[in-house]
Amino acid sequence: MPTLVSHPDEVKVLSRRFGQGAANIDKYLELDGYKAVQQAIAEGPAWIIDTMKASGLRGRGGAGFPTGLKWSFVPKNDKAKYVLVNGDESEPGTCKDHVIFREDPHAVIEGTMIAGLAIGSKLGFIYLRGEYRYLLKIVEKAVAEAYERGFLGKNIFGTGVDFDIITQTGAGAYEVGEESALMESLEGKRGVPRIKPPFPAVVGLYGGPTVINNAETIASAPHILLMGGPAYAALGSERNGGTRLFGISGHVERPGVYELPMGYNLKKAIYEVAGGVKGGKKLKAVVPGGSSCPVLLPDELDVGLDFDQMGKAGTMLGSGGIVVLDETVSIVEFALRVISFYQHESCGWCIPCREGTDWIKKTLTRVYEGGGQKKDVANVQYLAENMMGRTFCPLGDAAAMPTLGFVKKFRQEFEDYIDGKKAGTPIITEQLHVGAH
Amino acid sequence: MPDVSFTVDGKKLTAPAGTLLIEACKTAGIEIPAFCYYPGLSLQAACRMCVVRQEKVPKLQTACTTPVAEGQVFFTDTPEIVQARKATLQLLLGNHPLDCPVCDAGGECELQDMTFKYGAADSFYAEPKNHREEQKWSPVVYFDRPRCILCYRCVRMCGEGMDVFALGVENRGSSAVIAPNVPAGLAPDHLNHVDCEQCGMCIDACPVGALTSGTYRYKTRPWEMNHVATVCTHCGDGCKTTLGVRSTTDGAEIVRGDNRDRSGINDDFLCNKGRYAFDFANHADRIQQPLVRKAGKLEPVSWEEAFTHIGKKFRELRDAKGGDSFGVIGGNRLTNEEAYLLQKFARTVIGTNNIDHHRTADHVTFAQALIGHKDRTASLRDTKTAKSILIFGGDPTNQSPATAWNLRTNIRNNGAKLFVVNTEEIKLRRQAKAFVRLAPFGYGAMAAFLNGDDASGPSAVSNVEALAGFRDTLKATEGLLILIGSELRGSELKALIEFGLTLPGAKFALLSDYVNSKGAADMGLLPDMLPGYTPVGSEIFAEYKAPAQAGLGLLEIFDAAAAGSLSALYIVGSNPVLRYGVEPASLKNTFVVVQDLFMTETAVLADVVLPAANLYEKGGSVTNHYGDLQLVKKAGDRAGVRTDFEMIVRIADKMDAHIPTLIPFGKGLRADMGQTRGAQSGEADRHAVWLTAQNLEPRLSPFDPFAILDEIQRLVPGYDILRLQLLSGNDQHLEPAASQPLVQIGARRDLVLPSGDTLFTSGTLGHYSDMLIDLQQNSRREQLPILDQTAAD
């Protein structure tokens, strides 16, 4: 279990109860717990959505879609509606949601209730990734406590409102982090994504209108209601309201999850907040928002950590998982490690992702093992370029984008590696040139 | 939906709003390639071949999931799109085994065609392809796993189309593989628990050679076959099946049946019988020489000797004992022309109405009950479009698979409502809005209940209150399509139709067993009915100069034989000895002539056996149980057999019959004589006059079935055929029934005997299909040995 870290530059909104035992409902109540939801019940759905819109909160799963707007899309009809908390945190380099589940599970529960109130839902689901089964106990205990206190179930807080929460874990598939695949998984089916439209807000879980949000997004909602939308928005940068948890890992002195204002400078985050490159080594590259984001070079780090500025810098804010690589890292090996993950996690539904990740992995494996040819770099780039934008769901892009980043920005290193100038001791395998068609 | 206008590649198109772009483009002649898209099944958007560029949309869009809307602008063939498709093909070909030279699908492969079009011939990969062992799923379905491109068509076809759900996906990513839903640890062919129907639709849907047929695989190349689209000889639906035929030393060998051009009445569908059960044609037990009984033993003779022998015996017996000492039995797999000719031969050459066939459903009562009602009989095509359907008896899933397919498709895609009334829990109840489970033999009581006899309710079903609600629902349903099982006959059938006739727009179909069961009845293989259910003695067939008294029915014919009063029995394509349990000794004083493919239980008792061609070896027309007429095309020849049509003509000739009267053929013969005769006597040759009026030439050969088709069209009520439709291979719906009330036959024995065939049986013919026998045995297997481990993958 990683220990909590902290830094003076942090703005603790979401993380303000971390480390204080807030998983216990009494402690949570002591720290203003379940106040926001009661206010939400009193004020009504329009107020909740207006507050969320004013907060400028954008989806923390990585896509950055404005949360208030998303909630407002749910049609006002008689169909059963659902709130779905996406806790399938699987993007390599990302470890923020698990801290929330561990340190402040009631915030997720309260946020789920708020989202439910906003859209007229009576049932929420908290879906944890299969590998987070150890967190399920904490979350389930919190849910049970909320039921005991009458915060969940029939007539919550004696207001006549009903709301239930069901918890569920996945079975170990990155793909079900994609919202529609998660719904398939939750419905007990194969975790493959659905055709959109219809979008979940209209036809989602079990065919009902569904709001699905990342766990961090949901957990932010109670804080936003308590402090007010504009106050939350003012914490962040333009069009990127509030703060967010950044998981800084890799070769830094003080790795950990830090809550920084949106728009905080990436270079500062690495060198000041996380204490700089470990052991005083030279920085080689930074993966800024989870492994699917194109890599940044040391001279590209002077950029604000928000969705728009990162987009302008040719990469993505993503899931806030910043991975720092020092000079000892072989990009060839790192690229192979990244593509291996996506190859393993591709659901196999569509051709470009299923076959593309596999062939990139095979090619990079051969390169890594010392059998590379010059044209392999171009081939990898060709494969990645032909996956981009053509796959059924974003997983294909998530695999192609970093690959393109590596081969474009470190082309020379790949070529040198193939020429044998660098890269330790490549292992020659027997299978190298067998079976070409 | 209102039409919307949109632009594709600069062309202005219109289509109903919401039409999928891929379909709208197809209609406009713009081809958008796709592997996973299959019309009528759920959308996948998985293959990414159909990507197109939509103006103002950042990413390429899949045409298979894009509904058209007003003002949209699309590009389907830009360099960007061509590159996207090419790249997708390159990715597929990376792992696809390029064993096209030995692949069954070679030449008929969508992946080959796409590669040809987009030229994705270059490869960048140095790594070995993924390989997995081939699997046998059943005697007729093999899965060559490496060839699979994971389009999921088979999975959807089996689940959504067939309601079988035998297939699923195993593993994920590049390890994902289609897998049969067998219990863990069992071999992949252990599909009994899902009631796999062995329809082979998965093979049809497969765009590549991953799924291949057990009957066809590695036998030939597609371009080495003639492809003949004809009508399947098995059940009453009469699907079009395309036979792949190769020449052999003794004629032709059918090596494949499939639904290649999907142009038939069955559209996409073909069941296991149409697809595999053609093998009886090549069966080693086919008779290929005429046999005449000499000193108690059937000896091979020449055709001339056989015909002369039959002609002489028939002539002598007719002249000595009278035509009414003859019995004639026709078959359910004869063409209309043969059935018509056979009854005409019986009535005009022999001079008897003692003619019948194995009746698999009560088509007579059906026709009788609908006299005077226009547009009340349904076509097979109606099962695809009717908004509400009532299945009353019968089990289409097992007996009429195309009907069942259409119903499922209709329910799935159009939201049609299905009601099922049955004494058994038939599978289609799973799609039904309401299922009424009747007590055994409860159909009559149920029909009476529907007609308002509330007292009958309890004997049909226990919950009478619900039954009344069900009746109300039916009464409130407009345009109900009523499919009637062959269990219903006589008064029960009549009562049900009477009820149905009170419903506005209700249509009916009576389901029976074989390809031309209804045609046989339509063509008058009946002792009391001339063709078109015309009572014997009717003016319509005055030119027959046939006896006006009804003849003996099938059972009465055998009674007469047993009583010693039947001098001759002429059986064409039927096996009554087995079907009706005829005592062999009863035929010992009767001269029996049998025309058949095999030495059936009936043929072995015959004095003369003539080897007959089957439906795939002749031309003509057949009428399915809905009354849809279709053209039968000859797929190939077989040495040593002749068509029943030719044999009847030859026998008539040897009996010194006047052939131009039996078969209206020949320029300057009957036609010319008729004119002369008409001019002299005032009696016009009606056929010649009719031919002239129809702009038809007289047929030149007495063996041309179309000569008789001309006469059928001229004389038989309801068979007013559109020639162009027929000749272009289309089906057309007919409603044969004489316009006058028919003779009621009282106190006769019930002659209707449904054959009760299942998916894997097909009457006597089915006994000679090794593939059907294999499938029967396969479906009866209880348990297979558990494998040590599942196939490595």
Instruction: Write down the architecture of domain B364-510 according to CATH.
Output: 3-Layer(aba) Sandwich (3.40)
Average pLDDT over residues A269-273: 97
**pLDDT at B250 > cutoff 90:** no
Residues of chain B with CATH 3.10.20.740: 3-77
CATH node for A331-419: 1.20.1440.230
> Looking at the complex, does the CB of residue A434 fall below 8 Å from at least one CB of chain B?
yes
CATH node for A243-326: 3.10.20.600
Per-residue pLDDT at A430: 36
What lies within 8 Å, CB to CB, of A239 at 6+ separation is A56, A306, A307, A308
What lies within 8 Å, CB to CB, of B453 at 6+ separation is none
Q: Name the residue among A350, A366, A437 with its Cβ closest to that of B123.
A: A437
What lies within 8 Å, CB to CB, of B454 at 6+ separation is B464, B468
Residues of chain B with CATH 3.40.228.10: 364-510
**Yes or no, beta carbons of A359 and B94 under 8 Å apart:** yes
What lies within 8 Å, CB to CB, of B605 at 6+ separation is B577, B584, B587, B592, B594
As a whole number of angstroms, the longest Cα–Cα distance in chain A is 73
Of A221, A317, A210, nearest to A262 by C-alpha is A317
- Taking the CA of residue A196 and the nearest CA in chain B, the distance in Å comes to 9
Measured distance CA(B458)–CA(B462) in Å, rounded: 6
Token pair, residue A213, equals 């949000």
Chain B residues in contact with A433 by the CB 8 A cut-off are 126
**pLDDT at B327 > cutoff 90:** yes
pLDDT, tens digit (0-9, with 9 covering 90-100), for B107-154: 999 999 999 999 887 878 888 898 999 999 999 999 999 999 999 999
pLDDT, tens digit (0-9, with 9 covering 90-100), for A195-224: 999 999 999 999 999 999 999 999 999 999
**pLDDT at A150 > cutoff 70:** yes
Per-residue pLDDT at B130: 87
Torsion over CA of B348, B353, B359 and B362, rounded to 10 degrees?
110
Measured distance CA(B369)–CA(B137) in Å, rounded: 47
- Taking the CA of residue A143 and the nearest CA in chain B, the distance in Å comes to 33
Element containing residue B492 per DSSP (H, E): helix B490-501
Interface test with B, best of A178, A355, A407, A434 (most B CBs within 10 A): A355
**pLDDT at B786 > cutoff 50:** no
Measured distance CA(A238)–CA(A240) in Å, rounded: 5
Measured distance CA(B576)–CA(B552) in Å, rounded: 15
Q: Name the residue among B47, B125, B130 with its Cβ closest to that of A436.
A: B125
**pLDDT at A20 > cutoff 80:** yes
**Chain A residue nearest residue B168, CA to CA:** A190
Chain B residues in contact with chain A using a Cβ-Cβ cutoff of 8 Å: 43-48, 51, 58-60, 65, 83-84, 87-88, 90-95, 98, 123-130, 149-150, 169, 171-176
Residues of chain B with CATH 3.40.50.740: 291-360+519-733
**pLDDT at A344 > cutoff 80:** yes
Average pLDDT over residues B462-471: 87
DSSP for B1-43 reads --EEEEEETTEEEEEETT-BHHHHHHHTT-----SS--TTSPP
**Residues A76, A82, A87, A89, CA torsion sign:** negative
Measured distance CA(A407)–CA(B119) in Å, rounded: 27
Q: B-contacting residues of A 172-211, CB under 8 Å?
A: 173, 175, 190, 195
Per-residue pLDDT at B698: 84
Average pLDDT over residues B182-203: 86
**pLDDT at B230 > cutoff 60:** yes
Average pLDDT over residues A252-262: 97
What φ, ψ does residue A210 adopt, rounded to 5°? -135, 135
> Looking at the complex, does the CB of residue A354 fall below 8 Å from at least one CB of chain B?
yes
- C-beta atoms surrounding A162 within 10 Å: 13
**Yes or no, beta carbons of A437 and B93 under 8 Å apart:** yes
Average pLDDT over residues B713-721: 90
Q: Which amino acid is at B256?
A: R
**pLDDT at B675 > cutoff 70:** no
**Yes or no, beta carbons of A366 and B127 under 8 Å apart:** yes
**Looking at domain A25-235, does it have CATH number 3.40.50.11540?**
yes
According to DSSP, the residues that pair with B135 across neighbouring strands are B143
Order of strands across the sheet with B732-733?
B620-623, B628-632, B732-733
**pLDDT at A58 > cutoff 70:** yes
- Taking the CA of residue A287 and the nearest CA in chain B, the distance in Å comes to 25
The upper half-sphere exposure of residue A158, i.e. CA atoms within 13 Å in the direction of its Cβ, equals: 1
Per-residue pLDDT at A84: 98
**Yes or no, beta carbons of A347 and B176 under 8 Å apart:** yes
Tell me what the pLDDT averaged over chain A comes to. Answer: 93
> Looking at the complex, does the CB of residue A347 fall below 8 Å from at least one CB of chain B?
yes
What lies within 8 Å, CB to CB, of B343 at 6+ separation is B328, B330, B355, B523, B524, B525, B526, B530, B531
**Yes or no, beta carbons of A359 and B59 under 8 Å apart:** no
Sorted by where each begins, the domain ranges of chain A are: 25-235, 243-326, 331-419
Measured distance CA(A158)–CA(A145) in Å, rounded: 16
**Yes or no, beta carbons of A352 and B91 under 8 Å apart:** yes
- Taking the CA of residue B123 and the nearest CA in chain A, the distance in Å comes to 7
Average pLDDT over residues A76-87: 96
- Taking the CA of residue A385 and the nearest CA in chain B, the distance in Å comes to 10
**Chain B residue nearest residue A173, CA to CA:** B172
Fold of the domain built from segment(s) B3-77: Ubiquitin-like (UB roll) (3.10.20)
- Taking the CA of residue A266 and the nearest CA in chain B, the distance in Å comes to 29
**Yes or no, beta carbons of B94 and A355 under 8 Å apart:** yes
Token pair, residue B23, equals 């379909």
Measured distance CA(B298)–CA(B640) in Å, rounded: 16
Q: CB of A252 within 8 A of CB of A277?
A: yes
In this prediction the ipTM stands at 0.92
What lies within 8 Å, CB to CB, of A150 at 6+ separation is A156, A157, A158
Between A and B, how many CB-CB pairs are < 8 A? 119
Of B197, B213, B202, B210, nearest to B146 by C-alpha is B210
Q: How far is CA A31 from the centre of its chain?
A: 26
Fold of the domain built from segment(s) B291-360+519-733: Rossmann fold (3.40.50)
* Look-up of token digits 């001279």: A299
Average pLDDT over residues B416-438: 96
According to DSSP, the residues that pair with B623 across neighbouring strands are B629
Measured distance CA(A202)–CA(B38) in Å, rounded: 26
Per-residue pLDDT at B692: 84
Q: Is B45 left (phi over 0), alpha (psi -120 to 50) or beta?
A: left
**Yes or no, beta carbons of B91 and A363 under 8 Å apart:** no
**Chain A residue nearest residue B174, CA to CA:** A354
Q: CB of A221 within 8 A of CB of A44?
A: no
Q: CB of B235 within 8 A of CB of B401?
A: yes
User: Residue A2 — pLDDT band, cuts 50, 70, 90?
Assistant: low
Chain A residues in contact with B48 by the CB 8 A cut-off are 350-352, 390-392
Tell me what the pLDDT averaged over chain B comes to. Answer: 91
